A and B are shown apart, each in its own frame.
Chain A
């Protein structure tokens, strides 16, 4: 039969069947077994783990600090840090505080702070959200907004935390921030906290910024959907604390609208300094303040209080009330400091002449310091913090620092160095400011004396100066030394007038500065080294 034949034909030998069976089993085994190990894994035993734990030695919490590090022992200031300051027991003229408008020693501010202290006590004992909002805070915010001519202002309890909290409130992961490479430290911290992409452009170089913006534009065209949600910001300083340069704001505003980027402006050094009314760099350039999305400044420099503020349109600023970390999670500003800031604002509003005086002084000192051998003055003449740089860097940072430190110490401890003409080097100066005051008093006590007599009295008062010096000093003060026997040569008005002309003649403005420059050039103390590791060493003088 057919079937029989077929079956006999299909009947395979037994060994074949067995072989196939084995093969099938093999395949099944292959399918269900792991043929190789992905990774040689052997878990550590308990003992090994214990050994590891036993073996591990952490690094010390902090590296050892050498005991004689120059900045380890801070200079101790006894008494108020006003324009005369006692540093380590030695009275100096203060060229190192950011007290630009001299409001620190203002009696009005003190009185206001005291009356606030009587009313509110010192601390606030809570963040703004939880009974830490005082009526003075609201008033200060309102006043700041009014002063800056913006819609809204928000205050922080610490200047450093202001911009450092404001940036991460808006810029998140994935957003792009264009920053000037000379930006100050608190900006850098804000950038770091925001975790956005940071693109640095060369200091004050608008072409470089535009190049970056163009690059970004090309990038955006590749992925337009993504570009619609990436926020972009330019973060700049009005007056750079690290370089004393002014930002080119009008160009920046142009770029802002061209590339649709928002501008955040940090004005700690320029608020209360630049502009006709001290409104900062926007007023200085005549830029519409609404074109800047956010302005932040601290109240620790010109306002001589503590804290900082941000101002701008409500649309922008209000967001920080829930998202600004330093605002939400920190205790609010002590009311007495807020009250002091309000009073300082009052003074600034009442007397815009302050800013002119400061400007003139800045310009003058800037000019006067030109030509100091070995040092060059950099930055804007209007900057109240002057930066002196070494003309020739030795190439090593430590050596440069040492040299600058030596200069500072020299100026501080040899503050009798004679200011000869406008160059303040060389000859020793033989009378101090105080001596000159004694002389003035002597002359005023009895104007009917000749130089010899005055000289004698002055010597008795403990000053060893020659007769010629006495003569010269008196002339400097605006007295004529040929004193007539009948009546004083100058009445009070004439005296004042002559004093004024004398000052302008000396290119000095204001009595404080006159005496500073001529007589007692004390220590420009601060040495600033740029964050970004540049080699230029800076040497800052603040004029107050």
Chain B
């Protein structure tokens, strides 16, 4: 991460660019034919301008993404933190083995003690000794709409997070910075909820059949037509679960002898789908066009391994907004590459649909591109639409083929009618087809909130990742101990945040993640920001050494000093 972090600045920092170019020389891939080549050192100066220009041409507005490097001291301390945790973990395991410490883990049945153990010992080491310490930050049960504010069920643990008890009390009106409720459609009142309840009365909740059998109700047809119109594609198809949309449809499209080029930070569902397809998978560095182009060229030139036959087809798998990084895919460049190398493009807009673009149509809209340039538009309805499920949009041939061959269509139950109705209503609202400007207002509100929230955090001196326009805002915590501390301190201040640690992120890059919503008011954001700043001071999280506007007393060295004391 730290290595390629600099490459993500495009039109912004030249300081970082030069760094990147220095590295590029070593890569040895210097060809005049590449679209996004890495220039050789001696050509750098003359080439840079044109290079820069050719890239900026692709973008209509500035595209600023920053991934500030991890300060060295922080990195060292983080590794030390994990080291200490591991040592203590082994110690505790030792004590548990010798029955000196009570073990709360569920045990194998007596009858099956002589079976091959279901889990290898080290498999759960992390869970037992690291995750269990801070488990209270996840799976917090909520008992209201996951809107801008939510009610949490209070939990206490008598045995250091091994078990939880509900006290029966409710934490009221916790500001929700964790749900993917980008457009604020998670509501229990208003037109969406009303139409959904009408639909429930008429249809019931289930369907008990698959799309190809008798689970294809008129609502699904209506939604598919609407979604196609919304996306600006010829045809679309909807599925009951977002995760399954990826994992069950990629295998229908790709087979052995095909090549899948996948971003290294792609979601688990894309990875699973790619694996299930049986195609060869190669991974390129996150959002790094040089890496992608190199893979593409290699694939063309060398063909399949061993036989050197040409690949049947090549599919590029990318996401619109990466949910852990907050970065936006470099779509214009990818489309240029895809056209040059005749690859196909699969764009997963799980987080970006509805959340990006002046009309809420996702990254394609954000960059002002033609949806027809993306071969497979995929997205989910879980996030911006406040429902569940996923879609695939594209050319009619593609969708027709999926209708016949998608595993989801043949074997999985179709989408529940009230959920379908919720999507229809919210989508119409975004499109302005309900005759109001409410949808447009939500979109504006979201982008305003995003800019404000990101700007304020940056000014406070936190290291935040990702694109300036992305409503997903990761705030770096780095150290394992701070994961738990941040989550708890924020909850004390009545703010619900998501904190993420190792398996979901690289080991040293633990982070907190905020999802900005259109439902957040300026007051809520201010409350949240003040709390974050407070906790940031308490936990010394203001790592950033970048110049910021608005000097708030803490400069880049205050952190180091405080740690050296």
Q: Which residues of A contact B (CB under 8 A)?
A: 44, 46, 49-50, 52-53, 56-65, 69, 71-72, 74-82, 85, 87, 94, 96-99, 104-106, 109-110, 113-114, 117-126, 128-135, 137-138, 157-161, 170, 184-186, 189, 192-193, 227-232, 257, 260-262, 290, 298, 300-301, 303-306, 313-316, 318-319, 321-322, 325-326, 328-331, 333-334, 336-337, 340, 525-526
Residue-wise, chain B 409-429 has the 8 Å CB interface mask toward A (1 for contact) of: 011110011110010000000
Instruction: Please state if B142 and A74 are interface contacts (CB–CB under 8 Å).
Output: no
Instruction: Please state if A58 and B312 are interface contacts (CB–CB under 8 Å).
Output: yes
Closest 5 CB pairs of A and B: A158-B241, A62-B401, A330-B243, A160-B412, A331-B382
- Which residues of chain B have C-beta atoms less than 8 A from A46's C-beta? 31-33
How many Å lie between the Cα of A330 and that of B119 in the bound state? 24
- Nearest residue, chain B, Cβ from A544: B208
Instruction: Please state if A123 and B221 are interface contacts (CB–CB under 8 Å).
Output: no
- Nearest residue, chain B, Cβ from A528: B213
* B267 close to A (CB within 8 Å): yes
- Which residues of chain A have C-beta atoms less than 8 A from B214's C-beta? 75, 77, 81, 85, 87, 94, 96-97, 525-526
CB distance from A526 to the nearest CB of B (A): 5
- Which residues of chain A have C-beta atoms less than 8 A from B307's C-beta? none
Q: List, sorted by A's number, 10 A–B pairs whose CB atoms are closer than 8 Å.
A: A65-B404, A75-B216, A99-B206, A114-B201, A118-B193, A120-B188, A122-B418, A161-B247, A228-B116, A305-B206
Instruction: Please state if A122 and B116 are interface contacts (CB–CB under 8 Å).
Output: no
Instruction: Please state if A50 and B145 are interface contacts (CB–CB under 8 Å).
Output: no
How many Å lie between the Cα of A229 and that of B120 in the bound state? 8
How many Å lie between the Cα of A58 and that of B313 in the bound state? 5
Instruction: Please state if B403 and A125 are interface contacts (CB–CB under 8 Å).
Output: no
- Which residues of chain B have C-beta atoms less than 8 A from A257's C-beta? 111
* B459 close to A (CB within 8 Å): no
Residue-wise, chain B 496-530 has the 8 Å CB interface mask toward A (1 for contact) of: 10100000000000000000000000000000000
Instruction: Please state if B387 and A329 are interface contacts (CB–CB under 8 Å).
Output: no
CB distance from B21 to the nearest CB of A (A): 21
B91-99, B176-184, B360-368 - the one binding chain A: B176-184
Instruction: Please state if A98 and B253 are interface contacts (CB–CB under 8 Å).
Output: no
Instruction: Please state if A120 and B144 are interface contacts (CB–CB under 8 Å).
Output: yes
- Which residues of chain B have C-beta atoms less than 8 A from A105's C-beta? 204
Instruction: Please state if A53 and B300 are interface contacts (CB–CB under 8 Å).
Output: yes
B6-14, B336-344, B547-555 - the one binding chain A: B336-344
- Which residues of chain B have C-beta atoms less than 8 A from A109's C-beta? 204-205
Instruction: Please state if A113 and B106 are interface contacts (CB–CB under 8 Å).
Output: no
- Which residues of chain B have C-beta atoms less than 8 A from A82's C-beta? 204
- Which residues of chain A have C-beta atoms less than 8 A from B404's C-beta? 65, 69, 71-72
Instruction: Please state if A110 and B201 are interface contacts (CB–CB under 8 Å).
Output: yes
- Which residues of chain B have C-beta atoms less than 8 A from A97's C-beta? 207-209, 213-215
- Which residues of chain A have C-beta atoms less than 8 A from B411's C-beta? 160, 184-186
Instruction: Please state if B216 and A130 are interface contacts (CB–CB under 8 Å).
Output: no
Contact partner of B109 (CB less than 8 A), chosen from A56, A69, A290, A331, is: A290
CB distance from A111 to the nearest CB of B (A): 9
Instruction: Please state if B344 and A61 are interface contacts (CB–CB under 8 Å).
Output: yes
Q: Knowing that A80-B417, A160-B411, A315-B107 are A-B contacts, what are 14 other residue pairs whose CB atoms are under 8 Å apart, sorted by A's residue number?
A: A56-B310, A77-B217, A81-B208, A96-B213, A110-B205, A113-B205, A117-B200, A120-B144, A124-B146, A159-B413, A160-B408, A257-B111, A329-B243, A526-B213
Instruction: Please state if B209 and A96 are interface contacts (CB–CB under 8 Å).
Output: yes
- Which residues of chain A have C-beta atoms less than 8 A from B212's C-beta? 71, 74
Which residues between 180 and 212 of chain B lie within 8 Å of chain A, taking CB atoms?
180-181, 185-188, 192-193, 196-197, 200-209, 211-212
* B139 close to A (CB within 8 Å): yes
* B240 close to A (CB within 8 Å): yes
- Which residues of chain A have C-beta atoms less than 8 A from B333's C-beta? none
Contact partner of B146 (CB less than 8 A), chosen from A64, A118, A121, A329, is: A121
Instruction: Please state if B297 and A326 are interface contacts (CB–CB under 8 Å).
Output: no
- Which residues of chain A have C-beta atoms less than 8 A from B381's C-beta? 123
Contact partner of A122 (CB less than 8 A), chosen from B141, B192, B213, B314, is: B192
CB distance from B269 to the nearest CB of A (A): 6
Contact partner of A135 (CB less than 8 A), chosen from B109, B143, B276, B401, is: B143
- Which residues of chain B have C-beta atoms less than 8 A from A121's C-beta? 145-147, 186-188, 192-193, 386
Instruction: Please state if A161 and B241 are interface contacts (CB–CB under 8 Å).
Output: yes
- Nearest residue, chain A, Cβ from B385: A123
* B108 close to A (CB within 8 Å): yes
CB distance from B323 to the nearest CB of A (A): 10
CB distance from B402 to the nearest CB of A (A): 8
Instruction: Please state if B203 and A79 are interface contacts (CB–CB under 8 Å).
Output: yes
Contact partner of A44 (CB less than 8 A), chosen from B211, B301, B382, is: B301
Given contacts A99-B206, A131-B498, A336-B418, contact A122 B144 (CB under 8 A): no
- Which residues of chain B have C-beta atoms less than 8 A from A96's C-beta? 209, 213-214
CB distance from A517 to the nearest CB of B (A): 20
Instruction: Please state if B422 and A326 are interface contacts (CB–CB under 8 Å).
Output: no
CB distance from A261 to the nearest CB of B (A): 8
* B43 close to A (CB within 8 Å): no
Instruction: Please state if A124 and B216 are interface contacts (CB–CB under 8 Å).
Output: no
How many Å lie between the Cα of A526 and that of B403 in the bound state? 16
How many Å lie between the Cα of A61 and that of B400 in the bound state? 12
Contact partner of A315 (CB less than 8 A), chosen from B108, B181, B413, is: B108
Given contacts A135-B153, A330-B242, contact A114 B197 (CB under 8 A): yes
- Which residues of chain B have C-beta atoms less than 8 A from A122's C-beta? 186, 192-193, 196, 386-388, 418-419, 422
Instruction: Please state if B401 and A65 are interface contacts (CB–CB under 8 Å).
Output: yes
* B397 close to A (CB within 8 Å): yes
CB distance from A310 to the nearest CB of B (A): 14
Contact partner of A114 (CB less than 8 A), chosen from B140, B200, B417, is: B200
- Nearest residue, chain A, Cβ from B114: A260
